[in-house]
Structure 1
Amino acid sequence: MLLSEVVATSVAVAATRSRLAKVKALSALLRSATPEVVEAVVSFLIGVPKQGRIGAGWRTVFELSVGPVGRSALTVAEVDAALAAVAATSGKGSAQRRTDLLVDLFSRATEAEQDFLRRLLTGELRQGALEGVMLDAIAAATEVPGETVRRAFMLSGRLPQTAVAALAGGASALEAFQLEVGRPVRPMLASPAESLPDALAELGSCVVEHKLDGARIQVHRSGDVVRVFTRTLREITKTVPELVDLVRGLPCQSVVLDGETLALTDEGRPRPFQETMSRFGAQDARELLLKPFFFDCLHLDGVDLLDVPLRDRLAALRRVAGEHVIPGALDPSPAEAEAVVAAAMSSGHEGVMVKALDSLYAAGRRGKAWQKVKPVHTLDLVVIGVERGSGRRRGWLSNLHLGARDPDGGPPVMVGKTFKGLTDELLTWQTRELQAIATSTDDWVVHVRPELVIEIELDGVQVSTRYPGGVALRFARVVRYRPDKDASEATTIEEVRGLLPGHTIRE
C-alpha cells in the first residue's frame, strides 16, 4: 500500500464533520490494506506511530530541508521500516544518524506526504481519526458487531492490534482476546450526575463511594510478579515500590485491581494532586509515599470477573483488599448516601461515585452505570492556544484557549478562554510547556498541539455565537493540569452542551 493512500484518507477524514463519512473512508482503506501493513496504517491514522516516540523532536523534524518528489512511490511498509530504524538508533552520534535517516525518508516523499509525516512525528495528527471513529471503521470493514470490536480493544489495550485481529480473523479472532494478568485493561469511566438524588433514583441498587483527588491505577499480580499501570496504560511499577510491596502481600495468587492512589498528609488528608503525580516521574521512588484505595476487582485467583455484576466484584474485592477498599456504603438509604458525601468532603476529597450494583465492567465507555457527584462542576478540556500576557503577566503565556473533544474525530471545539486561577508557579510551568508544543504564533496568540488536558471549574454554560460549538463557559477557572489524562479522554462538546438548561446529552 502506498503512503499516498493513507494521506488521502487522512485528508478526507479531517475535511468532513460527518461521522458516517469518516467511518466510510477509513473502512474502505482498511479493507484495501494488506495484512502486513494494517498495524502501521491504523497507527498512522490515529496519529501515533507503532514505535511511539522515535527520538526525533519537533525542531529536528521541522528543520529538515528536503525537497519533495513529484510522484508518489513511497509505501507504508517503507515508512514503517524507516521509523523503526530511527527509533532503534542510540549511542554516540545518534542524533545525526536519526537526522540522516529522516532526510532519506523525506527525500522520497511528495509534498503532501512530507506534511503528513511531519504532523505524525510531532503529534499534530492526533485529530482526524480518534479511537471511537476507528473502532466503528474496523467494525464496518470486517462486518463484525461494534460491541465485539470494543470488547477486544478493552482487553488488548491497543487499537492497531485490535484491527489486525479483526481483519485477519473476524469475530472469532476478536473473541479470542481474554483478560490477561499483566496486560492492562482500558479503564471504565464515569459520567457526571446532576445531583446525588438524581443518581440514586436513576441507578437504583447501588454503591456510593468516596471520589478521591488521586491518580487512577490498575495493579496486576501473578504470583510474586506485580505490575502497576496508569489510566493511560503506562507502566509505573518501578516508581511505586510501596504499592508493589502492598499488593504482593495480599491474600491471593493472582489479582487485577482497579483503584486510585494518592499521597496523604500526616493527618490523613490528601496532598495536592500535583504531588501525587510527581511520584510517577520521581528519581527517588520513596521520596513521597503513596496510599492505594481500590474500588474494583477484575480478576481473582484464576477467575475473570469482568462479566459479573459489580455486586459480585465488590465481594471479591473485600475478600482480597480488606482495609484498602475505598470508603463507601453498599445499597445505602438516601440519608446514608448523604452521610457518605459529608464524610468524603470533610476528609478533603472531591465528592462521591455512585455505581449500579448490577453493572458489568465496560472499559473505555463513559456510560451512566457509574456517575460522579461533585459539589463544584468541572470539565476536562484541551488547551488549543494561549495568549501572551500583559501588565504583571508580561513574559508569560497566560489566557488559555479551551477546547472540548469532538466525539466524531475532528479537532477540539473551542468553548471559552480563561486566565483565572493561574498562580505564578503554574504560569511559569505552562509558559515552558506550551512553548514546547507550539505549532504557530502571531503577535498575540500561540497555537499549540491539542494534547494538554486541564481541569476547569465553572459556574455553568450559555448559548453563544462566539464559538463554533454554539456554547460558552461561564466564569471558568483553572483547577489544575491533568497529566494523567490524554486528550482522547477530555470532555466532549456534547457533554458541554448537555449543561445547557433543557439540553440532553447525545449517547
Structure 2
Amino acid sequence: MIDDPSVNDELPNSSKVVKFSNLCNLLERISKSQGAIAKQKLMIRFISDWRKTHKEVHANDLPTSTIAATTTTTAATTTAEGQTTTSSSLSGTSPIIMQDSFYPILRLLLPQSDRERIAYGLKESKLGKHLVEVLSISKDSDDGKKLLNFRVQKNTRTQKGSDFAEVAYYVLKNRCNEDVTMSIWEINKILDEIAVENGKGKEGQKVIDHRLTYLLRHLSALELKWLIRILLKDLRVSLKENSILECFHPDAKDLFDHTSNLFKVAVYLHDPEKRLHEIGLSLFSPFRPMLGERTRADKIEQLIRKKSTNPTAALAEFYIETKYDGDRFQVHRDKDQFMYFSRNGHDYTSVFGPDANNIGTLTPYIANTFKIDCEKCIIDGEMVIYNRNEKIIHSKGDSFDVKSIQANDSQLQPCLIVFDILMYNDEILTNKPMNERLQYLQKKILEPIEGRIIFSVIKPGTSNQDVINELNLAIEERQEGIVVKDPWSVYKPNVRENGGWYKIKPDYTIGLNDEIDCLIVGGYFGTGRLRAGMLSHFLCCAVVKQANTTNNSEQKNPDDENATTSTQCKPDVHDYLYYTFCKIGSGYTHKELLDFNNRFANKWKPWTKKTA
C-alpha cells in the first residue's frame, strides 16, 4: 500500500548510506546562515547530493521504467448504476521508489509534520532527567541544574543556549564520543520504537530509556542537539515548512496541502522533473479533469494580470470558449482502441463503442478521422447531443441524456466537442501551456466531422468588455455561459481554484437573476444552426399608464345595475406608454422555444421601416 511507509530491511536503501551526521551538519549550517535564499541553497544542494547517492545505491537495479511497467495495477468497481469506475496506482512509481525515497530524511526535516509517527512523549524535563542519569551528572551541579531546571533558567543572562537542545549541547560536548555516528535508517528505527513504546506504562518506559541511552552513547554532542530538536518537533532553523518542501520539489507544498502525508510527497514527487499534474496520467486510466473557477465577467482582466504565468503579462490576454451544456468526457485512444470516462471516472466505453467494429454511438463514426501520425492520445471535451435533422446542439434542459442515446436513433447522436489534449503518442502534455497544447490539438490529432467530433471555437480576448460581449452572445444563442482560459495555464487534474480557467454564467453576474414582469412586443429571427427559421430572442418592454387617462371600466354609471356587464372591456392600449429596454434569449429549452413559435405564429406582424 502506498500509505504504508514500512520498508524491507534487506533491500538496498540510501538511508543506510547517508549518515545522521550529514543531516545534522546541514541543519547547523542552515541555522547559522542569514536569509531564506542562502538557507534554501544549502537545502537544495543537500537534496541534490542525496539524489546522486540514491542513484549510486540502485545502480545495479532494474531500470525504473521497466519495473514501473510491470507494477501498475488497476482496480475496478461497479456502481449502483451499473457503470464501472476504475482507479490505478501511481503511474511510473517503481518498487524501488516505494522502498527507498527521501521520506526517511524528509520526516526528520519536518518532524512537526510527520503524521505517521505518533507522539514520543518526551519533553525538556524528561529528557533533562534522562541525560543527568545516563551521564551521571550531579543534580546539584551547574550542568545538572541547567538540564533539570531549564524552564526556570532559560531567561537568565548566564544561560548558554537559546533552547533546551543548545543547552544540552554545551553540557554534552565534552562528555560525548565524537568518533561515532549512526545512519538515517538507524535513527528512524529507534524513533519508531520510542513512539510505539510511548504510552505502554513502565515496561514501555524501560524500552524508551534503553533506546535513549543507546543514542547518547552512539551520537556526538552536535548530533544529540539536533536529535533533541527532532524529538521536541521544533528544529529552529528559521526555514519554513513550505520552503523545505519546495526545495525538494516545486509541487511538494501543493501535494502535502492535499494529503498531509510526507510519505506520499516523497514517493509521488521523487522525480524533480515530473510535475504533479503529470503524475498518475496514463492511457486508459481515468483522472479527475481540470475545472473552471467561478467568477464574474468584470473580474477577468484583474485575474489574468494577477495570476497568469505569462512572462509578458502587461496586457491581459486570454482565450474565450463557449461553455456547452453537456457532459464532461475524456477520451483515451490507442490506435483502434477507445475508452470513454466521465468526469467522475465512470467508464461508458460500452455506450460509445470500444472500436470501429463494435456497436457504439460514436467510435464507429470517428475512428477514421484521427491522423496517421497520431497513434495514441488523451483528449478532454464536452459530450453533447446533436440533432442531425435540425442541425442543432441540444442542452441538458431539453431532457435528453447523451449516455442514453441508442445507436439506431434516427434523429439524435452524441457529438464530442474537443477543447484540450493531455497526451500525444507517448508524450504527456499537461506540463505544456495551453497555447502549445492547442497547436497539438488543431494540427496533429484529427479532422473534425460536423455533428460527430468538432473543436471548441476559441476567440482571443484582452478586456472585460470582450468577455461581456461573448457572454451576451452566449446568452443570445441559449448557451450555458463561457469559459475564459489563460493561454499560459498548464493542465492540472482535479484543480479548480488558481488553475487559470474561469467559468462565467449569466447567474454569476450581479443583477442578472432579478425577476421582473414585462411585455413581449417583438421578436428576432435567429441566424445560424441554433436559431435559423424561428424567433429565438424577444424584445421586452415595461408598461406605464399615462397620466389623466381613464379606461372604459372607470366610466361606468354607478346607478346603472346592468352597467357592469355592458361596460367591462379591455383597457385602451393608447392609455399606456411602452418602454422597450431589453431582449432575452435564454431561460427556456429548445422544445419550449418551438412550442412558443407555433403557439403565436399567427400573432406576429412583420416589421419594416415602411410599416413603422
Above 0.5 in TM-score? no
TM-score (norm 1): 0.41
TM-score (norm 2): 0.35
Select the structure of larger CA radius of gyration.
2
